[in-house]
Chain A
Amino acid sequence: TQLLEQSPQFLSIQEGENLTVYCNSSSVFSSLQWYRQEPGEGPVLLVTVVTGGEVKKLKRLTFQFGDARKDSSLHITAAQTGDTGLYLCARRGGSQGNLIFGKGTKLSVKP
């Protein structure tokens, strides 16, 4: 099973701090998606990365896909309370299109 391991599992920081969360696999994957899920809601797609070494920025969020396409990271600069949520990475499950998710990093940003 080509699992996605996310770390850390939990992260609690103060507003204004920077943070990085990670998504790793023992297998190469062709592309990866990052989602954010707020309490009581479904996941919302943030970004899709497809090329090894790719870096994408979404305001204060920076997503990186590892050169070997086995890992990815999400860096948040100057975290805000609105960044609180569960950050999930997902890869495509074979040719059928369903997503395989990591278990997520639960981020809490305190004012």
Chain B
Amino acid sequence: NAGVTQTPKFQVLKTGQSMTLQCAQDMNHEYMSWYRQDPGMGLRLIHYSVGAGITDQGEVPNGYNVSRSTTEDFPLRLLSAAPSQTSVYFCASRPPLGRGETQYFGPGTRLLVL
């Protein structure tokens, strides 16, 4: 298994540009989530999904959209990037209930918005 993969690893955007951060897992995990980590801070939950077709907001959802059309993929969209969205973004997934309760994190995407 490749685990949780994220692309791209690095991205530079100009204010107002849009982009999609990709997250995929090949472990058939139902639960997936997106976090952001600002310098010197812990991770904060942006959006999460308990399965295909179901998404919900986390702690800091403003400025981000998500969708979950398949079990494997959970993309995060920035419709109009702002400098405040400069951060490191981590995607995580978790096995189905009863088969393990640990969330596994991807390697992260480092985003700079100018």
A binds B: no
